Each structure stands twice: as C-alpha cells, then as structure tokens.
Structure 1
Amino acid sequence: MLKLLALIIYGSCITALSTPSPDIQARVINGIFVNVTKTPYTVSVQENEVHMCGGNIISKDWVITAARCVPVLSDNYTIRAGSTYHNKGGSVHIVDKIVLPPGSAMNEFGFQVSDLALLHVASSFILDQTRKPIKLIAYNAQLMPNSTVTIYGWANIAMTPPPGLHYVSTTVIKKSVCNETFSEFYGIFDNQSCVATYNLCRKDSGDGLNYNNILAGIVSWSEICGNENYKSIFTELAPYRFWIQRTTGV
C-alpha cells in the first residue's frame, strides 16, 4: 500500500449529514437506474473497500469529491471506476494524494467552508467508454436559479435493484430560499447553492451536478434525507476553477 501523501492537515471527522433512519438511508432515493456508460466519469470513493461517497473523474489521474468524504488521514482510500456497481467490477485505484482548497476550515456546526477535495490516484485511469473525464464549468460561469441539473449517485445495497448507479433530475433554487431553509445553521456559505431535490442522502456527498454534460457543482450535504422540507446543498465549482487548474492542470 502506498503511503498517502497528505497536503493538508485534517481536523476532526466531519459529520454534517445527519444519520438517516434505516428505512430511508438509501442514496439517491427513487432515482432512475443507469449504466456507467451513460455517466463514465462517476466513481465510488471508498475506504477499506466500502462505498463512502461519490466522485467525478476530471483527468486520467484526478477525481474531485467533497472534503467531508476524506475527513481523516488514511492509507485506505480507493476509487472504484468504470463500474455500474460500487461493490464489484471496473477498476480499483489507490488514492495517494489528497488536496483541499486553501483556507479550508470548519464552522461552529462542523460544516466545511470549502467542501471540495481533489484525489490523485496512484495508477492512472485507462480511459474508455466506462471511464472518462467530465468537462468542468468555466471560472466565470454561474448556475442560475431554475437551471435543470442531473445528479448521479449510488443506491443502497438493501434496495432493489442492486447497489447500482441511479440519477435524479432537479433544479437549482434561489440562494435566498436556501438560506431561509437552513437558517438554523446561519444559511449557506457564499460558494454554495441548493437544489430542489430531497432525494440525496448520507453517502451522496461528492456526487456531481451535471449541467448539459458539464460538471458545475459537488453535492455537500442535506439536513434530513428523504424529507421534502429540506433541500440539498452543493458547492459551486466555478469559484474554485483556478485552484483546480493549478493543482491538476485541468
């Protein structure tokens, strides 16, 4: 096992997503099953061979996910790519470097201010119809309210069909509405927005927001999955494009 090269000193474990009750702990609740060839950039971020979060391939050597998905130093993070299922098939790649945005910190509620992480793999992805990088949003672009996005993620192993890729389509909502929804946490951070879906759950952090085949955001958290009174928060990628480019060359 390669020794993980940590570029950032991590603090305590992040547990922003509440633990759902057993009957709603599925990921992408009521999503539509999809083959990995329809979303070849979507990967499973794993620790000790257990699915923890989603992620997206952005080059043959890099994946982007949420910082909360890699909260502690570990040699045991891996990426499963090129498979419709998070527990079999495709290829498994050891994560040998983790990079967080400059100034990453947690607020008083334990929420990551810049909830993004770049993961470098020790062995490059072999790019084919099941493993491809997704194009990133431009630095000066912005997702407007009512924009339709698609989110790809992984279903719970206890669900039928098996723990395969699913997706939901949803819309971006106004930041003012999002701030009101999460007012008990003093609203959202400047570089965050919300989507209207409440279908995203604990292990959907790191999933990508696909806008016209462009990666525009990364799912961060939701207060109570499966509760229609709460929406899902994502981190906007446009404000971080220069950091991503400096780090990965993408």
Structure 2
Amino acid sequence: MTFSEITLLTTAGFAAGVLNAIAGGGTIFTFSALLAVGVPPVAANATSATAVVLGSVASAVAYRREIAAAFRKLLPLCVISMLGGGIGAALLLWSGDRTFRALVPWLLLFATLLFAGARQLQKVVQARAALKANATQTDLALPAQGLVSIYGGYFGAGMGVMMLASLSLSRDSDYHAVNAAKNLLSIVLQAVAAVVFLMSGIVDLKLSLLIAVASIVGGWSGVVVARRVPEAVVRGAVIVSGLTLSLWYFVT
C-alpha cells in the first residue's frame, strides 16, 4: 500500500468509529475507502464489517454502565441479532460482486436518507409505542430488530439509525440508554457476520486490522464527541458525505 492509501483507510476507520458510536453511518466511509484502494465490492464490505467490530466494542465499553443496567432485558434482542447478522452475511456472499456493486449506490443513498430522517422516524416509532404500550413493545421489538440485523449483516451502513428506531419500541427515550443498547447489539450481529466472512476467506486481514485499530480509537472518542459536540454538526457532515458518495457511485 502507498502512504496515501494507508492515510485514507486510517482516516476512514477513525471516522467510522466516531460516527458508529454516536448514531451509526460510519461504514459508509470504510466501505468507500476500501473500494477506492481497489478492493472488490463484496470483499470491501466484508473487510469493512470485520474491521469495525472492534470499534463498536470500544464504544460499548465506554457505555458499560448503561449496558450493565439493562443487560438482561437485551438478551432476547442479542439472540435475534446473532441470527439476523448471520443470515445477512450469507446473503452478501451469495449475491456476488456484480449484483452487490449494482446495489451499492442505492444502498448508500438509502442509508444516507435514513440517517437524515432518523429523528422523525424515531418520533413516529415512539408515538406508536406510546399508543399501544406493552403490546407494541412485545410484538414489534424482536421482529424489527431481526430485520435490522439482516440488513446489518448484508451491508451495515445506516444500520445504527435503523436500530435506534427499532430499539425505541422496547426501551425508554433516553438517548444514551438507547445508544448504549445499539452499540451492544451492533457488536453481536457484526461479530457473527465477521465470523461468516472470515470463514469464507474473503476478508483482507491486513486492511481490516489497519481499519480496526483506527476504529477502536474513533469508537472510544465517539462517546466523548456524543456528549460534547452538537449532534447537528456531526449529522450534517454524515449526510453531506453520504449523498456525495452515493452520487459518485451512481455515475462511476
């Protein structure tokens, strides 16, 4: 690798760690950086997904008190996340480079628009949960998390936003409590997907390790950012970057 490629991947890994700790969307950067250095689409997605697991672990450790307080309630969601993550990863390997590359700009655009409308989506979901109370929490939380997990195992970008919305069905509206749960479940489904990818031999281990180290630093730093930097600033940067990248892949 050249120095510029190392710099690109390291910066993308750090940014992904920060953004995934705050609200998700960081995979957009690591995946795009891997494509930029010549990694094929499916391998780029698998390598990116494997790399950011450690960054999610760092974020979860920083939220350890919130996670410990609700761990038993999160166990059913952890199980469904494992199943969904494995299914999504298998679907990615089955689809192949040609199909996945055709879907990339649409997936990036979907993830970016979802991120942009995250607040509105959460308000709608929380309003439904308030109307139906316990019945909604029981009936919708697990299947919603299952669908999010399949998507997360397949692509990942935008998964955090979808998960924040689905978790609103089973948790209170406190941002940090929901975000802590999202980080734990992200680890679970990403870890299962990473195992599937590693067993397939499609992951570039050297590139994955480089991104992983940077994402660990970014994941830990992201919690600090989430508490101190205005969320609107970070969200604006993600939206602009996501729209730019999706446009790029539409025209290339």
Whose strand proportion is higher, 1 or 2? 1
TM-score, length of structure 1 as denominator length:
0.29
What's the TM-score once normalised by structure 2's chain length?
A: 0.29
Higher helix content, 1 or 2: 2
